[in-house]
């Protein structure tokens, strides 16, 4: 599944607002970017609305997968936030107020009161309710939130962060750098491809298989298009992986394409 990796990365995006179109998801593109900067890649992603049964099922799959999974959204304390409860149900463990989370949430409430010029009233009903944001599955560890101190949490390799990008993205980055630096690719990952006209994917498949068999750590990709505004009907055929091995694999690809009655267009390097 990746080039130097032995672990897969997954993403779960929770929220009715994404599926209804009220908000466009920005998390997947950012997670892809954060992983790519570390020589890693996203293996799968799943979108789920604010339905407890579906969230629980998605999390059961995540915990059972052995993958490193980030889950965004639904960890607040409003009636449509179900992720914390669903995580506990998926794990078969009780929910409990995390003592460090309680301290951080109380710090945040004191900060807010000070900013507003008001006294801090810890026993006020709304402040007591805010502590629910620190109620996590038993055994969870915290993910620090540099934006407002309200933490996310991790259970094993599944990591839960808020839906707000300004909070979620630095939290995901801190988990990657703090827990998974040993998985970062030591070599730069790159890709090269060429636009191919007048060929069928089925015809090119043996060439693609031969390149992957010859060059360890290289993957071949094929992206057909039928109505591209510039190239029209074509296939973008390329190789991706360890930059030091890429040129040899790409040379084999171009040499192999010359044996087909296909016209080659522009080359693309990323």
Label residues 236-249 b or e (16+ Cβ within 10 Å = b): bbbbbbbbebbeeb
DSSP labels, 161-203: E-S-HHHHHHHHHHHHHHH-GGGS-SS-EEEEEEEEES--HHH
Structure token pair of residue 100: 């460090």
pLDDT in tens, 55-102: 999 999 999 999 999 999 999 999 999 999 999 999 999 999 999 999
DSSP labels, 185-196: -SS-EEEEEEEE
Q: From the CA atom positions of the chain, what is the Rg in Å?
A: 23
**pLDDT at residue 241 greater than cutoff 90:** no
First CA to last CA across the chain, in angstroms? 19
With a threshold of 0.85, does the pTM exceed it?
no
- For the chain, residues classed under CATH 3.30.70.2860 are 189-269
pLDDT in tens, 167-222: 999 999 999 999 999 999 755 678 899 999 988 888 899 999 999 999 988 999 99
- For the chain, residues classed under CATH 3.40.980.10 are 9-183
For position 186, what pLDDT does the model report?
Answer: 58
* Class level of CATH domain 189-269: alpha beta
Region of poorest pLDDT, from 103-107, 238-242, 250-254: 238-242
Count of other CB atoms within 10 angstroms of residue 198: 12
What superfamily would CATH give domain 9-183? MoaB/Mog-like domain (3.40.980.10)
């Amino acid at each position: 599944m990746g080039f130097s990796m032995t672990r897969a990365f997954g993403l779960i995006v929770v929220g009715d607002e994404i599926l209804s179109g009220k908000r466009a998801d920005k998390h997947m593109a950012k997670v892809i970017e954060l992983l790519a900067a570390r020589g890693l890649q996203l293996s799968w992603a799943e979108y789920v609305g604010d339905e407890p049964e579906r969230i629980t099922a998605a999390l059961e799959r995540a915990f059972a997968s052995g993958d490193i999974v980030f889950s965004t959204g639904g960890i607040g304390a409003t009636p449509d936030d179900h992720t914390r409860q669903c995580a506990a149900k998926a794990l078969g463990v009780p929910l409990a107020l995390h003592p460090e989370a309680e301290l951080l949430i109380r710090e945040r409430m004191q900060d807010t009161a000070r900013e507003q010029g008001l006294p801090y009233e810890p026993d006020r009903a709304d402040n007591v309710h805010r502590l629910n944001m620190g109620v996590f599955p038993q055994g969870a560890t915290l993910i620090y939130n540099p934006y407002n101190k309200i933490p996310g949490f991790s259970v094993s390799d599944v990591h839960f962060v808020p839906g707000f990008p300004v909070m979620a993205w630095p939290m995901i980055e801190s988990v990657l750098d703090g827990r998974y630096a040993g998985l970062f690719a030591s070599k730069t990952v790159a890709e090269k491809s060429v636009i191919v006209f007048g060929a069928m994917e089925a015809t090119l498949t043996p060439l693609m298989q031969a390149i992957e068999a010859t060059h360890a750590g290289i993957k071949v990709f094929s992206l057909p298009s039928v109505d591209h505004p510039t190239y029209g009907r074509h296939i973008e055929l390329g190789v991706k992986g360890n930059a030091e091995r890429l040129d040899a694999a790409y040379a084999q690809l171009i040499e192999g394409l010359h044996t087909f009655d296909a016209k080659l267009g522009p080359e693309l390097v990323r």
